[in-house]
Chains A and B, each alone.
Chain A
Amino acid sequence: VKEIYRKRGSSVRVEWSVRGRVVMRLSEEGSALGERNHFSASTARWGSEAPGEVRPDGIVAWCERFAAALPAGVAIERLTAVEGRADHEFESRGEGRRWSEERALVNATLVNRSAQARIHVELGGASPVDLDDGGALVAARLLAAFRGARAHPATVTLVPAVAAPLWPLIAEAVRDGLCASAPALAQRPHPQFQCDGTGQLIEPFAAARGAEWPNLFRPTYRAPAVAAFFHAAAAPVEETVRPSLEAVAHMRPPAAVDAALVLTLLVHEPENVGESRRLSLTLPLREIGSHLAGIGEPDGWYPHAAGSWGSRAVLRPPE
């Protein structure tokens, strides 16, 4: 089956690091052809009217505000912020779809150099106005207070931004049959990011063993689309334990390694925001459901994998 995809986009990207600052305005158009075992993509004009140009003001101002709000002792190691608009077309089997999208994304690492500590920040929305940095700034203040201490494993509340990247990892483990118990995870449509990489609507879909993801993710026209679990959300679970710590950021990107979820978290005692510690946890994916002792309602969308909804969650460490 021959599939044709076209994309035309306009974006502003800010790259901020210890080496300086770059503001790039980019406009590009391209098309891709997928056929059996062959994929080709190229720069190409496709005629119709271009999406409106993105002005740099919004995303640059967001970055400047965010940098100015960081506490003393915390610096931006690297920050990439993008605001973009894109028009898409997809044709297959004589049918065509068109859709448009606007997005603002931030990916950053913040550092406390004296404590040799780093946290990861990812935010996303339809425009810079949607980039709620409140949680990131709380985490930054706790990073400033970090002195290198380690926390003993204890029951911990994950704020939504910390729980969000776990859902796509657990969904893949569920699909691969690695989990005997797991939270109920499903695609939860996003009101603005409604379409996948072929223009198909993203519908609710539950993660299950052996499931084939129904939607295709295509972050660029230059690479083939891949099946992905979009806008991962965890079903609420009533809280059964009282946590003694709160995790506000990941100090290393969470990863699924050897059938376990490996987390390094910046945590604090809820009543004590003047001190923070590092909590390292390795949670077997097989019993991951038994380690999640509470999940709240979805609260905020994050750009992890093909999208993920954050929710407050309570994590119980292994005995």
Chain B
Amino acid sequence: MSIVTIRKPRTPEPRALVSRDCGEGVCEVDWLASRRHESDLDVTAFGELAMAKGWGDGLPLVPPTDARVQAFLQANDRHPDEVICELPPMRAECTVEKIAINAVMAGAAPQALELIIAALLSVAAPDFELYGVNTTTAPVFPAFVVNGPVRDRLGVPYGYGCFGGAAASAVAIGRAIRLIMRNVAGQVAGETSQTTFGSPGRVAGILVGEWEERSPWAPLAERRIGVKGDAVTSFGAMGTMNILDTTSQRPDHFLEMIGKSLAYPGNNCFSPAMPYGEVMVALNPICAEILGKEMPDIAEVQERLWRYASLPADWLQALHREQLEAQGRVRDDGRIYLTPEPKDIILFVAGGLGGLHATALHTFGSSLSQTQPLAQATATATAG
């Protein structure tokens, strides 16, 4: 057998929207097809109804009344019956209306719709393998890295506490996506999802920006698919793993510490079920600056990290080693590398300026990261 490599990500077709310019009132075409349920509109009472019906995640929810959903749609340039994608395991159609209802429930701002849609399109791409992500025993969930001015328009954090803890509207956006996974994709723990432990990331997700202005390299979306501006990259994340380094001084020393830390034996990149995988690493701005001075080409950073992110095959138990050998993963140097190629270590810059930590997100199996540009309204037209 030979090493199974991962192809470079494809660039999705850009989508231009026509502004509907609905004015003060509701767009005439904004009919809503969803079933109505009578409910006490008090947040606590609605929360009880939502939990009883299986719609909720345990946190308070905003009641999705016609008025709130219409207002959400009115601020955007999509019709409610537009089918965005099908989401497994339910395979039900995810319409703009369902996205809007769940976004309202999560408390997301209407201005977040195009980011949510781009995020959903990215995970609905076949190579993301959402079917496996949503059904597995693993704790995996889609994490999203946002590029472009939309970061600041929507308050997507990329500095201190960006992976969680920063007070940011991104929490509601991430939660909206999670509610869509529950209510449209049909991902329910213990029923359609066999996740053994789950993850905090299955409540509000991870929606983090890249601190492009502090990165010595081009933005992630531009490096991946050549898109400059607003875009989102999805990654099937098993959680976050902190890597502390208070000792290194030279760039290569940092990379050795990060690379060796990435290659822990129980991570899914070494799963016998999947002969390939990716890993995502957030480098803090201070570390990125140090690395960038010596390595202005990020491919060199990836190459060095990749060489450190490996294990000697004979260090593993025989049963584990034999399965990896059967996949052709033991190379001529007797080592098993975390990913097929250096490019499969996906890097971006984010985080506070403390400078002592990196954050790694390990993949789930054959789920491959996807990058999707956000659609933009390009002209003004009157809805009819």
| Binding partners A and B | no
- Chain A residues within 8 Å of B, Cβ to Cβ: none
